[in-house]
């Protein structure tokens, strides 16, 4: 885009911004995404002049966030992709966590100096509620890529900037990991910047997929050797619950993330107490009931409703929300044949139009009660004998 066009666009956007902020009628309406964000900022009462309080974590907290972030595994590769391009020479690369906290910043020295004056520094919180409409915070709110040019930012102090931000997700489970952003002087915008950021994020997600598989393979190889010749069922998972190795059990690809003080039900093994190992967890039966059926009673008459899990090891009672009680009642009534997502939608909502909601509800329920439930169709897992308190038989 030629330089004069950028300058003209910046002036037009400033007129639109000033009109909307003052309650006047703008010459044209801002983009829908920008309008939604500005409306959120006005409801929050943020100052469009840029006097909003900055929140900046100290160095220790930033380092702690970095160590918890999976993006630490790919940040150097993203720097290599984005900062070596001549199209991004005047810009800076910023990587945040899912809270919008800047964990890494690199790039042009002149742009870094200007960013310092905005509080656009490592440790700074760049969510919308703190600094107004900006590519990072708005991308987190909208859960989609966002590009903002000049006066599309809510704070006037950010108007000299162009920013292009793309959310990064864990390729295994879709968890939002953070945002990758390229920011710099608005009038130096190159049309290739947007596609470069998107490409870098896709490469990062692909690399994360490879890293996870390499870690699981390493854990599998090590623990299969350790457990060779040992009797009884065993399951080895990483810290997030992804299965690396199983012996004498049939588990899905992922279980709930283990903690040292909570037993987890594993079909074929019963209730297992997680044992921490390097790189993950080892789960083996915590008693003599390996492979024995687990009895489950759904007590709908209780207030609140609960599900009681009784095995030969350790009984559990888990409270249920009304919606989760409805789901388990429908699954129990369906018996071994199970119930499909569309059938469950009809049972809960009276139509088959709520498949996404149903799947999300069951996913959250499975995180609560572990491997008790199987999917496709939804049913009680093999080795689980389930009944409800208004049912005469299991």
Q: What is the pLDDT of residues 43-84, one digit of tens each?
A: 999 999 988 999 999 999 999 999 999 999 999 999 988 888
Q: Where are the beta strands (DSSP E) in 64-170?
A: 92-97, 102-107, 146-149, 161-169
291: tokens are 């492979």
Q: What pLDDT, on a 0 to 100 scale, did the predictor assign at position 311?
A: 57
Task: Give pLDDT tens digits for 122-176.
Answer: 999 999 999 999 999 999 999 999 999 999 999 999 999 999 999 999 998 889 9
Q: What pLDDT, on a 0 to 100 scale, did the predictor assign at position 190?
A: 80
Q: What pLDDT, on a 0 to 100 scale, did the predictor assign at position 122?
A: 97
Q: Is residue 259 pLDDT above 90, yes or no?
A: no
Distance CA 233, CA 290 (A): 7
Region of 45 on the Ramachandran plot (φ > 0 left; ψ -120 to 50 alpha; else beta) = left
Chain centroid to CA 341: 23
Parallel, antiparallel, or unpaired: how do β-strands 280-285 and 270-277 relate?
antiparallel
Give me the mean pLDDT over the 328-335 stretch: 93
Distance CA 207, CA 346 (A): 40
Distance CA 244, CA 230 (A): 17
Confidence band, pLDDT 50/70/90 cuts, at residue 210: very high
- Residue 271 parent element (H or E): strand 270-277
What's the Cα-to-Cα distance from 120 to each of 115, 188, 255, 305, rounded to whole Å?
5, 19, 39, 49
Q: What pLDDT, on a 0 to 100 scale, did the predictor assign at position 292?
A: 62
Backbone angles phi, psi at 143, to 5 degrees: 55, 45
Parallel, antiparallel, or unpaired: how do β-strands 384-388 and 294-299 relate?
parallel
Q: What is the CA radius of gyration of the chain?
A: 26
Q: What pLDDT, on a 0 to 100 scale, did the predictor assign at position 1?
A: 40
Q: Is residue 345 within 8 Å of 285, Cβ to Cβ?
A: no
Q: How many helices (H) and strands (E) does the chain have?
A: 11, 16
What's the Cα-to-Cα distance from 131 to each of 43, 53, 87, 270, rounded to whole Å?
14, 8, 27, 50
Distance CA 306, CA 318 (A): 5
Confidence band, pLDDT 50/70/90 cuts, at residue 243: very high
218: tokens are 């390493």
Q: What pLDDT, on a 0 to 100 scale, did the predictor assign at position 249?
A: 81
Q: At what angle do helices 32-44 and 135-142 cross, to 10 degrees?
A: 100
Region of 335 on the Ramachandran plot (φ > 0 left; ψ -120 to 50 alpha; else beta) = left
pLDDT, greater one: 25 or 286 = 25
Confidence band, pLDDT 50/70/90 cuts, at residue 36: very high
Q: Is residue 261 pLDDT above 80, yes or no?
A: no
118: tokens are 């905005």
Q: Is residue 80 within 8 Å of 93, Cβ to Cβ?
A: no
Mean per-residue pLDDT of the chain: 89
pTM for the model stands at: 0.72
Q: What pLDDT, on a 0 to 100 scale, did the predictor assign at position 394?
A: 38
Backbone angles phi, psi at 270, to 5 degrees: 80, -155
Give me the mean pLDDT over the 87-100 stretch: 91
Instruction: Give the residue from 101, 119, 107, 116 showing the smallest Cα distance to 52.
Output: 119
Confidence band, pLDDT 50/70/90 cuts, at residue 329: very high
pLDDT, greater one: 383 or 196 = 196
Q: Is residue 2 pLDDT above 50, yes or no?
A: no
> Within 13 A of 295's CA, how many CA atoms are on the CB side?
12
Please provide the DSSP assignment of 192-255 as one string: THHHHHHHHHHHHHHHHHHHHHHHHHHHHHHHHHHHTT--S-EEEE-TT-BEEEEES----SB-
Domains and CATH numbers, the chain: 3-210 (3.30.450.40), 229-285 (no CATH), 294-388 (1.10.10.10)
What single-letter DSSP state applies at residue 370?
Answer: G
pLDDT, greater one: 6 or 251 = 6
**What torsion do the CA atoms of 231, 237, 241, 242 make, to the nearest 10 degrees?**
-120
Instruction: Give the residue from 249, 240, 246, 165 showing the smallest Cα distance to 208.
Output: 240
List 306's β-bridge partners, or say none.
Answer: 299, 319
Task: Give pLDDT tens digits for 353-367.
Answer: 899 899 999 888 887
């Amino acid at each position: 885009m030629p330089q004069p066009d950028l300058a003209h666009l910046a002036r037009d956007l400033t007129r639109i911004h000033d009109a909307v902020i003052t309650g006047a009628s703008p010459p044209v309406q801002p983009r829908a995404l920008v309008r939604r964000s500005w409306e959120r900022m006005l409801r929050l009462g943020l100052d469009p002049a840029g006097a909003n309080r900055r929140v900046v974590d100290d160095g220790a907290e930033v380092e702690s966030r970095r160590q918890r972030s999976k993006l630490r595994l790919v940040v150097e590769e993203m720097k290599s992709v984005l900062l070596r391009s001549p199209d991004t020479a005047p810009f800076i690369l910023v990587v945040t966590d899912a809270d919008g906290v800047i964990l890494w910043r690199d790039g042009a020295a002149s742009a870094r100096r200007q960013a310092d004056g905005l509080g656009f520094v490592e440790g700074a919180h760049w969510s919308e509620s703190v600094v107004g409409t900006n590519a990072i915070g708005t991308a987190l709110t909208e859960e989609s890529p966002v590009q903002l040019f000049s006066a599309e930012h809510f704070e006037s102090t950010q108007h000299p900037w162009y920013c292009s931000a793309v959310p990064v997700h864990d390729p295994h489970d879709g968890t939002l990991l953070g945002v990758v952003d390229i920011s710099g002087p608005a009038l130096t915008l190159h049309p290739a910047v947007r596609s470069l950021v998107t490409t870098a994020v896709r490469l990062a997600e692909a690399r994360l997929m490879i890293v996870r598989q390499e870690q699981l393979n390493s854990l599998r190889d090590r623990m299969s050797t350790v457990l060779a010749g040992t009797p009884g069922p065993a399951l080895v998972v990483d810290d997030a619950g992804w299965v690396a190795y199983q012996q004498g059990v049939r588990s899905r690809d992922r279980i709930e993330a283990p903690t040292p003080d909570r037993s987890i039900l594993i079909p074929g093994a019963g209730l297992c107490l997680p044992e921490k190992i390097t790189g993950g967890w080892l789960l083996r039966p915590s008693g003599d009931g390996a492979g024995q059926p687990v009895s489950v009673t759904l007590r709908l008459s209780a207030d609140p409703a609960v599900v009681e899990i009784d095995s030969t090891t350790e009984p559990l009672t888990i409270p249920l929300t009304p919606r989760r009680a409805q789901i388990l009642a429908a699954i129990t009534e369906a018996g071994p044949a199970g119930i499909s997502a569309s059938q469950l939608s009809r049972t809960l909502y009276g139509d088959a139009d709520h498949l996404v909601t149903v799947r999300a509800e069951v996913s959250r329920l499975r995180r609560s009660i572990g491997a008790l439930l199987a999917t496709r169709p939804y049913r009680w897992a093999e080795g689980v004998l389930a009944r409800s308190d208004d049912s005469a038989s299991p």
